[in-house]
Chain A
């Protein structure tokens, strides 16, 4: 089958404004959208830029907006877009480096601010720390995060408020707040208990719908809100 693509193009180094370019490419219904991008770049237009690495939704490189919906190009199949023109754009709100490639530093910085590492009490024992499997299960969903930024790109609040820490940072806060081995429960909660923290979330659920790893992002954020409320007045 033949697929039609319209792709966001912008090289901020040489042009003031972005433009869109159309491509036609032959594809098998089982191909990934990423396969089509590769075919375009390898066979037609080597100037097109995008990120990719593992090609099966584990590394998180190829987050982009596909027909208006944030997702991974390697997880979307051609057959689901049959008969449509596919519009590919970079993740919204992220500064564009070139074409579909966006700046990730700000996104990672906000996750880093959550201190995403274990802060356990005291010296570690000789062997492993013991952890009840029920406690371990509390982080089952969130450890699926691959830092692809699709949730943050999809969040409508981010459009209005660039200072919101964003859903991905909150997922990482949740990861350690809910880890029974960690000792910073209060401090971590306080760190997100402010207007641009957990309270910016308005329950649009777009993050949950966008997450390619099916993490219940909004539910996690709501849990954090409840836990923060339990801490008492700020």
Chain B
């Protein structure tokens, strides 16, 4: 079976070609990259605490060629890696390190905290790397551990093995085959998000050059990189895509003409964004990709630019179709698979991309899987995404909010996210979210809304909602916020909003 490192070695062995990584300052490729990887590998071997098992490599570096090279080097050394963000507070870094206990941590020379087993980047670059040996990867070996924030606030380490990651690369190679000649992609998301693993998969599948943007929030530097480097492939979260397209629209002389392929993942977005992309870059192919980190980056995909009319009619964005290697079921409250019936239920998925589990947390791992009720005699399990989904008559799957947010108000089962979706489409609304609040043992819906400019006409929102939602779904309170709070993952921070209500 061809694993990630085999794809890499194959690209490196091609004549007059090789794997290429760039950041804002430098480019590294082919032999030079191999040399750097060998230096990393030598250090990993010298630090491993046990020769018999896979070792863990934590990467706590700036966004640079060295970060990406350390990922590949980990695999060459037969190790798995844990991506950290140098900007995380010390406490979070310590929490993650205490959980994954890596054999080695690669850090910047000027890193401010004192960490056990750390090796600075200049020590890597000074390492003599003769007689380097590589260790094989097995499909069952871990490829990486990505930490996601759990609902309890305790970070969960999602373990992804080489079988899962190779399956994703393989799918990329099949699904995006028409973009095989794309030359350059930009890594624009946080390196701790699995979007980066999706970018790397694309590069491994097609030999695409990897360009690491300096700062996910600095839209101008990202735009500049796209423009100056002729970037053609761009995968990011909707907020970043939205910001860069707004910049291209509003800045004199700006355009995104080099872009051929845009992928959006990690969050929902409004139809406006699809239309903006079509207006600014009419020839761009735009995909919505969906999946939890637990299913290795993505497991559903939909091309959107060629179905704008359908999206407008439906009033929502599809996640499209399951990958050819992913099976799914939509389980309703009675525990029946209602996918083919076109009913709503919890989206449950299975396939080779399924995570191994959460590191050292069997209980949470068990809870996240449910029996595959279609085949009770198999005793097989599916990963429960907790997203409410429906297979529509257009053959595509659509999402309807989180199952764990479902509430019962005045006897009606309500999805706060459904209210949010409707409000998001109202003119002048920039962002919105709805939460159920317990008022004297009775749940009520509170809507938080942020206008595109300054304050917003609450009465107008109310009027608009009345035309689009049944009475029982109209929030009892609408709160105009100046700025929606976001958490580390870039999603609306509902915990903060509740704290605000308590005050």
A complexed with B: no
